């Protein structure tokens, strides 16, 4: 189901007050989406009306052309309200910001860019498969694209397909059936016959991402929708391209889960100030032990803010951290976010894990930070290898 056109405001960067209001609006329905595991349609209507879907689109195509710092500022506010919305939104932001479509047919790319500016055009890349897993660890996809007189025919299965039921476009990672297989991106309209969404996403957290299995059975697409298909060796990105792609992914994932931790922190502060045990006669917030633990949380979140904001500022000035450094930021920030919410659980006891309070949802959501590629083992092995061997 495509995002509705809602006559968005002119694309300009929102101020802090506007972002706080967006956070508040998205948070109001976060629990409902979590419990029902439903695509947060109304949230994207809110973002579209605020003119935020096309935030990273080039101004020449009507977008705001936002860089790292401004984009992450918006993404963090969305994540504090409802993080599944932020993760789905990030895919569209990264698509336009990182110039992933530089090799695409220009008219087709411009169509998608203008859709995003109009408050539609949500796009997601489907890469993970039941047998292959994530292609980050190597291997060719089983999903196959076969040349036909009309264009291409796509068949295969994708799992963990973030945003599945609500996206306007799928970018499907597939191999050709040629003698020397090529691999790459095929643009698919979700309304095309032959697509089945299997509602199997039933995870611990981030439930509103609706990351279901998507099955493609002889799905026909136009020839020009084979938007970037190359021999496997040609996908070896240059150092600069790898750094840019890694940085967008790393800083966005770090920002989203830091946003979850900040939402947990804000609820915790309110709870500790309001909770007055009868045997104490004062709020829990008055206890030195509680203040110390809150100080630990503040230190973790301050570290995240310094790491993410510092890297974003440097990148906007043209000094991109290396892919190794970017992934280390993601690794450290996610670990800090998890620990920050865990400390909140220590302070609250039973109320913290009650479904009547949002802290347990925040904890479930923040734990999902561990599953995003590249995962901890890949990040740390890469950093260690570079330090030890220089490669």
Residue boundaries of the structural domains of the chain: 16-121, 126-235, 239-389
CATH superfamily assigned to domain 126-235: Butyryl-CoA Dehydrogenase, subunit A, domain 2 (2.40.110.10)
Alpha-carbon distance 190 to 39, whole Å?
15
| pLDDT band (50, 70, 90) for residue 119 | very high
Q: At what angle do helices 323-348 and 359-367 cross, to 10 degrees?
A: 150
Provide CB contacts within 8 A for 154, sequence distance 6+. 143, 144, 145, 146, 172, 174, 186, 188, 216, 218, 219, 220, 221
Please, is 191 exposed, middle or buried when counting C-beta atoms within 10 Å of its C-beta (0-12, 13-18, 19+)?
exposed
Residues listed for the chain: 391
Between 3 and 34, the higher pLDDT residue: 34
- The answer to whether 73 touches 309, Cβ cutoff 8 Å, is no
Return the pLDDT at 161. 97
**Which sign does the torsion angle of CA 90, 43, 265, 348 carry?**
negative
CATH assignment of 16-121, among 1.10.3720.10, 3.30.750.24, 2.30.110.10, 1.10.540.10: 1.10.540.10
User: Count of alpha carbons within 13 Å of 325, Cβ hemisphere only?
Assistant: 14
pTM of this structure:
0.93
Fold (topology level) of 239-389: Butyryl-CoA Dehydrogenase, subunit A; domain 3 (1.20.140)
Alpha-carbon distance 186 to 141, whole Å?
13
Beta-ladder partners of 214 = 158, 197
Return the pLDDT at 3. 47
Domain 126-235 matches domain 239-389 at the CATH topology level? no
Alpha-carbon distance 270 to 187, whole Å?
46
User: Count of alpha carbons within 13 Å of 188, Cβ hemisphere only?
Assistant: 31
For residue range 220-249, list pLDDT tens digits in order.
999 999 999 999 888 876 445 556 778 899
Return the pLDDT at 9. 44
Return the pLDDT at 138. 66
- What tokens does 41 get? 């349609």
For residue range 18-77, list pLDDT tens digits in order.
999 999 999 999 999 999 999 999 999 999 999 999 999 999 999 999 999 999 999 999
């Amino acid at each position: 189901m495509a995002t509705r056109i809602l006559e968005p405001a002119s694309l300009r960067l929102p101020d802090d007050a506007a972002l706080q209001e967006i956070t508040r609006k998205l948070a109001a329905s976060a629990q409902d989406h979590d419990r029902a595991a439903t695509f947060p349609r109304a949230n994207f209507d809110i973002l579209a009306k605020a003119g935020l879907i096309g935030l990273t689109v080039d101004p020449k195509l009507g977008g705001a052309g936002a860089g790292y710092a401004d984009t992450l500022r918006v993404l963090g506010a969305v994540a504090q309200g409802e993080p599944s919305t932020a993760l789905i939104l990030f895919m569209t932001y990264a698509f336009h910001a990182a110039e992933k479509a530089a090799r695409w047919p220009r008219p087709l790319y411009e169509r998608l860019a203008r859709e995003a500016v109009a408050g539609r055009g949500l796009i997601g890349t489907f890469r993970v498969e039941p047998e292959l897993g994530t292609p980050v660890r190597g291997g060719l996809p089983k999903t196959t694209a076969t040349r036909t007189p009309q264009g291409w025919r796509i068949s295969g299965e994708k799992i963990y397909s973030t945003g599945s039921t609500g996206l306007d476009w799928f970018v499907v990672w597939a191999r050709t059936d040629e003698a020397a297989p090529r691999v790459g991106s095929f643009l698919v309209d979700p309304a095309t016959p032959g697509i089945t969404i299997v509602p199997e996403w039933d995870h611990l957290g981030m439930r509103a991402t609706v990351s279901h299995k998507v099955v493609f059975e002889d799905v026909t697409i136009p020839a020009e929708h084979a938007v970037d298909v190359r021999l496997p060796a040609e996908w070896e990105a240059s150092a600069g391209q790898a750094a840019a792609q890694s940085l967008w992914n790393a800083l966005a994932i770090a920002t989203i889960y830091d946003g979850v931790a900040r939402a947990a922190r804000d609820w915790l502060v309110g709870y500790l100030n309001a909770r007055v045990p009868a045997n104490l006669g004062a709020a829990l917030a008055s206890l030195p032990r509680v203040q110390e633990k809150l100080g630990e949380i503040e230190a973790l979140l301050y570290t995240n803010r310094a790491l993410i904001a510092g890297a974003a500022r440097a990148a906007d000035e043209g000094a991109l951290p290396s892919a190794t450094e970017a992934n280390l930021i993601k690794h450290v920030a996610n670990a800090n976010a998890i620990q920050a919410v865990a400390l909140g659980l220590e302070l609250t006891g039973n109320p913290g894990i009650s479904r009547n309070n949002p802290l347990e949802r925040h904890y479930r959501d923040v734990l999902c930070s561990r599953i995003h590629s590249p995962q901890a083992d890949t990040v740390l092995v890469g950093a260690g290898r570079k330090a030890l061997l220089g490669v």
